Amino acid sequence: MKKIFTIFCMMALLASCELDQYPHTETTSKDVYVSAENYESVLSGIYTSMIVNLSSISGDDRFQNYTRALLMFQEATTDNMDNVWAAGESTTDLNNLSWNAGDPWISAMYYHIYNIVALSNEFIRNASDEKISGFSDADKKRIIGWRNEARCLRALAYYHALDLFPAIPFVDESDPVGSYIPETYTREQLFGFLESELSELSSEGVLPVSAYGHVTSGTASAILAKMYLNAEVYVGNAYYNECIKACKDVISKGYILEHTYSNLFNADNHKRSNEIIFALACNATNTVAWGAGTYMVCATRFDLDAGMTEDFGVATYWNCLRARPQLVDKFADGDSRGHFGSRNRAAYTDSPEEGWYKVEGDSKYVYQDRPKEIISHDETTSGWLINKWSNLTDSGETASDTRVNGAETDFPIFRLADVYLMYAEAVLRGGTEGSRSEALGYVNEIRERAYGNTDGNIADADLTLDFILDERARELYTEATRRTDLIRFGKYTSGYTWNWKGGVKEGKDVDSKYTIIPIPEAELSANPQLKAINTQYGF
């Protein structure tokens, strides 16, 4: 059984930290912060808020968890993934890159970010040196460690805000509680705050080096690496040497690649702390989570795919996420990462309906080929299935009843393979703190795992930026990185098209304003500065 936090005062915490029109916090009951155990339980609530549904964010179940909203923007707006439930889930604007400030997914993402910020601020405020002065030295040490974890979780949320929005209101533990209009930070200001905060958090002894399901010093360095790699987008300046240094810091902590790629995405993936730097931990026994790993396991399963429990450990199908053809086409024969389903399955019959066929020697199923190209967003018969995620243990057993408790599969936020690819890209973009030969070695290490031998290894001449962009798609698809990658390479809104980009089947370029997400409409009436920011970007 994987180890996770106990959710001690989750409901009390969330009820008292609800966000309304402004990002703010309310002081929780003074009874909460009376023991070290209670501090630990409150911290658990912050972690859990990233994977469970929260009615305080939205009255609609579809928008009620952090990772689901993040995946919609990072994957369903790209060449990786299409969301089927266009009408029911209001995802047409995301699939087509045509959103506006009134889109409910924008509000969901914004308020999920600020929920984590608010919860973290409250914890940090109540874990100040003054507040914990009456505790024993041993408890003080534990609480200070948890305070640093809350700071890192807040930094992760603010990093997502930096990546998505052009400017945002900024609040920290020093700001007053209650409703007020906070200062609006530009990307440059937020970048500066995060750089300072994460540099301290990545320093020796501030966070643990290893603690699965918790943020660690490696997590802080990985966030820094992401920030530095994308700094030209965020602040207009290159930080490639700093990116390489942050990657080196992660690598120096002793991570190694997991031997089998698929093991990173099954119900026993909590055992992969050798590669997974930080994951959102799901546990069907203690935490019913419909986001994170559960979302990827269930949302990629379709009712036209019999045998889901046997093959994926899934008892429920959500008919939701499928691969775009441009993703499928990036995989060569022999690449084990290309987990896709090109056929529908149904129970065997001697007389299958038209379009279905039997396979010699298979008395279990009949099959129907799925077109690789997506016909439309509101049907489920086209587009290849994504078979990367499962709720099976290493021994092939179903880990949980997904109808009742969700999946046991954790959602990796940072992995070593991503760090290797960031290192290689930063070298190719001119960073001099690393070497091209080492970059090639890291890339080929990833590809040797993918192919099971050296057949997929590339030569130095093949190591180009275009190759890195495609390799990141192959290695990291459905892991909430693709939008950021395409923007960094200048291929998100123009210069590269995919199935249904821009709302047409063959794809088309869209307005460059869609490289950012506007501040949600609900914030604009009370804060003219935010409205001006949206106007500046054409929203």
What integer pLDDT is reported at residue 373 of this predicted model? 97
Q: Is residue 165 within 8 Å of 515, Cβ to Cβ?
A: no
Give me Rg for the CA atoms of the chain.
23
pLDDT in single tens digits along all 539 residues of the chain = 343 333 333 333 333 333 333 344 444 557 799 999 999 999 999 999 998 877 667 656 566 789 999 999 999 999 999 998 755 557 888 989 999 999 999 999 999 999 999 999 999 999 999 999 999 999 999 999 999 999 999 999 999 999 999 999 999 999 988 777 899 999 999 999 999 999 999 999 999 999 999 999 999 999 999 999 999 999 999 999 999 999 999 999 999 999 999 999 999 999 999 999 999 998 877 777 788 899 999 999 998 888 888 999 999 889 999 999 999 999 999 999 999 999 999 999 999 999 999 999 999 999 999 999 999 888 899 999 999 999 999 999 999 999 888 999 999 999 999 999 999 999 999 999 999 999 999 999 999 999 999 999 999 999 999 999 999 999 999 999 999 999 999 999 999 999 999 999 999 999 999 999 999 998 998 788 899 999 999 99
SS (H, E, C) 345-412: EEECCCCCCCCCECCCCCCCEEEEECCCCCCCCCCCCCCCEECCCCCECCCCCECCCCCCCCCCCCEE
What integer pLDDT is reported at residue 528 of this predicted model? 82
- State the pairing for strand pair 411-415/276-280: antiparallel
What integer pLDDT is reported at residue 287 of this predicted model? 72
Per-residue model confidence as pLDDT tens digits over 126-163:
999 999 999 999 999 999 999 999 999 999 999 999 99
Report how far residue 341's alpha carbon sits from residue 301's, in angstroms, rounded to the nearest whole number: 10
Question: Residues, the chain, total?
Answer: 539
User: Which domains can be identified in the chain, with CATH numbers?
Assistant: 1-188+526-539 (1.25.40.390), 300-397 (no CATH)
∠ Cα 244 245 250 (to 5°) = 95
CA 537 to chain centre: 25
Q: What are phi and psi of 118, to 5 degrees?
A: -65, -45
What integer pLDDT is reported at residue 56 of this predicted model? 66
What integer pLDDT is reported at residue 89 of this predicted model? 57
What integer pLDDT is reported at residue 63 of this predicted model? 65
DSSP states of 195-261 as a string? HHHHHHHTSTTTS-S--TTS--HHHHHHHHHHHHHTHHHHTSS--HHHHHHHHHHHHTTT----SSG
Cα distances (angstroms) measured from residue 164 to each of 83, 219, 224, 305, 481: 19, 20, 16, 35, 12
